[in-house]
Amino acid sequence: MAVMNVNPTRMQMTKLKKQLQTARRGHKMLKDKRDELMRRFIELVQVNKKLREKVEKALAESNAHFINAGAVMSKQAMDSALMSSKQKTGIDIDYKNIMSVDVPLFSQVNESPEKGDIFPYGFAFTSFELDDAVMSLGDLLPDLIKLAETEKSCELMAAEIERTRRRVNSLEHVMIPRYEETIKYIAMKLEENDRSSRTRLMKVKDMLLEKAHHYSQKQD
């Protein structure tokens, strides 16, 4: 691991030690965030899986109703019956924050509160199979909206988990080791400088003693 390009001074080492401490705290916080995101993501995926299975089963049943209606009604009659709509449906979008991730909240908004308005036709010239098909789709719509909400939430949370994972890895395998290596390098340089300074001082002391008393002080 390459050390940082810094001056090997005590002030710089103190600064780097504070930065290392901050990096370690940030690393722990990000790991905790990643773990909590993973926990909530798994819970959401399980909800999404059950909801998707429910929606797919309901869609298959609804499709079967339309096939039955097509068997007793002509294509022209079905197209004419479904051409216009009495009820318009919209979606309100809100957001909630989960571990710094803004996930969407979808809610169905119907312009007409009457449940019977889901049928865009009169009942005189249509079959009950078509009624069942339209009703099954109407009952399925809230689950489809909820499925879209959970899948988008899963997508956003997965992206945030990946970003957090990269930050954790960067701190754990790059930044923190680099701080540690740089601090170790500065400490070695300072120790080396201290030894050199002591050696020079001892030589100066010997020279002064020799000059003042005409002898050199020998050390073992």
pLDDT for res 31: 95
Domain count, the chain: 1
Position 113 in a domain: yes
Residue 62: how many other CB atoms lie within 10 Å: 19
Residue 205 lies in a domain: no
Q: Which long-range contacts (CB under 8 A, 24 or more apart) does 213-220 make?
A: none
Residue 185's contacts (CB-CB under 8 Å, 6 or more residues apart) are 3, 8
Q: Does 72 fall in a domain?
A: yes
68, part of any domain? yes
| HEC secondary structure over 39-54 | HHHHHHHHHHHHHHHH
Report residue 42's pLDDT band, with 50, 70 and 90 as the boundaries: very high
Q: Is the pTM of this model over 0.85?
A: no
Whether 108 contacts 89, CB under 8 Å: yes
Closest residue by Cα to residue 69 from 125, 114, 117:
125
Q: Are 49 and 186 in contact (CB under 8 A)?
A: no
> Is 70 among the domain residues?
yes
Can you tell me whether residue 94 is helix, strand or coil? Answer: strand
133: domain CATH number is: 1.10.287.3240
Of the candidates 204, 157, 177, 189, the residue with the CA atom closest to the CA atom of residue 44: 157
At 133 the pLDDT is 80
For residues 100 and 42, give the distance between their C-alpha atoms in angstroms, rounded to a whole number: 17
pLDDT digits (tens, 9 = 90+) for 168-208: 999 999 999 999 999 999 998 888 877 777 777 777 776 77
> Does residue 112 carry a pLDDT above 70?
no
Q: What is the pLDDT of residue 131?
A: 77
In a domain, 174, yes or no: no
The verdict on residue 199 lying in a domain is: no
Task: Determine, yes or no, domain membership for 210.
Answer: no
Counting residues of the chain whose pLDDT is more than 70, the rounded percentage is 85
Residue 154 domain boundaries: 10-165
Looking at 58-62, 136-140, 143-147, 148-152, which range is the least confident one? 136-140
Closest CA to 36 of 127, 161, 156: 161
Interatomic CA distance for residues 189 and 17, integer angstroms: 16
Per-residue pLDDT, 220: 45
